[in-house]
Structures are given as C-alpha cells and as structure tokens.
Amino acid sequence: MAGPRAGRAAARNAGAAAARGGLLLFLDDDILLPSAALAAHVTEHGGSEPACVHGPVRELPGARRLLATEPGELLPDPHAAATSGRFGRTVANALETLVTRMAEGELEPVAPWLTCIGANTSMPYGLWERSGGYDETFGTTWGCEDLELGLRLWSAGAGMRLAPAAPGVHLTHERADRWEQHTVNLTRFTQKHPVPAVRALPELLGPAGNTRRYVTAVRILEESALP
C-alpha cells in the first residue's frame, strides 16, 4: 500500500484497516517464515478467547551474506536456507528469550503482554479494531508501538500466546541511531503507562538487555509501590 511516511504504527493501522479477512497478521518485510507459518497462526486462534499470537523470531547476524546470494540458491525455502547454518547461527534477542521463557514457565510471567512483538504477530480483526489500533503518536521513530498495543490488549482481557510452528528469521541489519530512536519511544511509552513492567524495560530492551535482571527490576518496583 502506498501512503505518507507516518511511521510503523500508522502503516500497520492502514494495512489492518484495508484488510478483508477476520484475522490479521502483522509481518515485517525483513522476516522469513516457513511455509506452514500461516496455518500455525490460524490454528492458534482456534479457541474461544480472542488472543494476540506471536511466532518466535530469531536474529540472523549473517543476513548480509544471505542477501548477497543468488535468489535461486535460496529456493524453494528461504527460511530453511536461513536456518541451515550456512549463513551463521540464528540467535534470540533478550525480548524474544523472555517471552519464550515466560510462556514455558522458566521465568515468572511478569509481563505477558510483551508477547505482542509486531514483527510476526496475529490477532482477530475485531480485537485490533476495539483496541483502537497502534498508537500513531509514536511517529516515525523506532520501537515500542507494538508492545504498547500489547499492554492495552492484555489489560482489556485478551490472551497472549506463542505459535512455535510459525518461527521467523529476522534479516538483521544495523541502524546507527537505533537505540537513540528507541529511547525516545520508550520514554513516550513510560509516560503513557508508568507501571513497573514498563518502567523496568531499560533492563531488557537494549544492547545489554538481560531477562533475569528485568524480572528482578519489575518485582523491586512493584514492592516499592506497596503501602
């Protein structure tokens, strides 16, 4: 879809508004999925509870080599090529690691809404519509618009689930001002929702993010707020 450069939240809302089906999949254009991923997303929505469903995403630091490869060499399954080891290992960032470990019971579920990671996430059209969609005031700076929607969905009673059969590979790329942009949006997120699980996010989101440090920070902030 063509449109003004108004940021990720606005682009996702525009795409969702133009959709004609009952299920939305928000998928970034630098994510590779296996052929069964769409069916896996649909399967996870088979229950009666409206939910946000995320397919776990791993980073491919060697993405430049993959992108320099002749397309025919990656077919018929670019996702399989990306995960074969030919272009190096894939790795989970701290946010993806936390979401998976919370879902598997390895870490305390201090913030289930973090499951709403926009790169590979689906939800019923009605759930998106009732929420008011992504907050477009995040503008053209990068980060947090997906997590902010997740917090609102969770607070309104939506479920949060993983779709392990819909794993994505992110073609990792560098952005010189990535974390500077992210700090701007994280500040906006915290001002809008000054709850412990948001205020502690600097311990998780960043080049030195750590899952256990984040969980500990959330609990400390929660305890300090008790009367």
pLDDT of residue 175 exceeding 90, the answer is: no
pLDDT (tens digit per residue) in 98-116? 999 999 999 999 999 999 9
pTM for the whole thing? 0.93
Fold (topology level) of 8-175: Spore Coat Polysaccharide Biosynthesis Protein SpsA; Chain A (3.90.550)
**So what's the pLDDT on residue 226?**
73
What are the residue boundaries of the structural domains of the chain, listed by start? Answer: 8-175
- For residue 174, what is the DSSP state? -
Supply φ then ψ for residue 186, to 5 degrees. Answer: -65, -40
Closest listed residue to residue 151, CA positions, set 189, 187, 206: 189
Query: Two tokens at 62?
Result: 């060697």
Query: Two tokens at 15?
Result: 């795409």
**So what's the pLDDT on residue 136?**
96
pLDDT (tens digit per residue) in 31-61? 999 999 999 999 999 988 999 999 999 999 9
The Cα–Cα gap between 77 and 153 comes to 34
**So what's the pLDDT on residue 173?**
86
Q: 142: pLDDT confidence band, cut at 50, 70 and 90?
A: confident
SS3 of 128-156: HHHHCCCCHHHCCCCCCHHHHHHHHHHHC
DSSP 77-103: -HHHHHTSSTT---B--HHHHHHHHHH
Query: Please, are residues 186 and 144 in contact by the beta-carbon 8 Å criterion?
Result: yes
Q: In the predicted model, what is the mean pLDDT of residues 193-209?
A: 95
Q: 29: pLDDT confidence band, cut at 50, 70 and 90?
A: very high
**What is the b/e burial string over 166-197, where b = at least 16 CB atoms within 10 angstroms of the residue's CB?**
bbbbbbbeeeeeeeebbbbbbebbbeebeebb
The Cα–Cα gap between 103 and 101 comes to 5
**So what's the pLDDT on residue 227?**
65
The Cα–Cα gap between 34 and 77 comes to 7
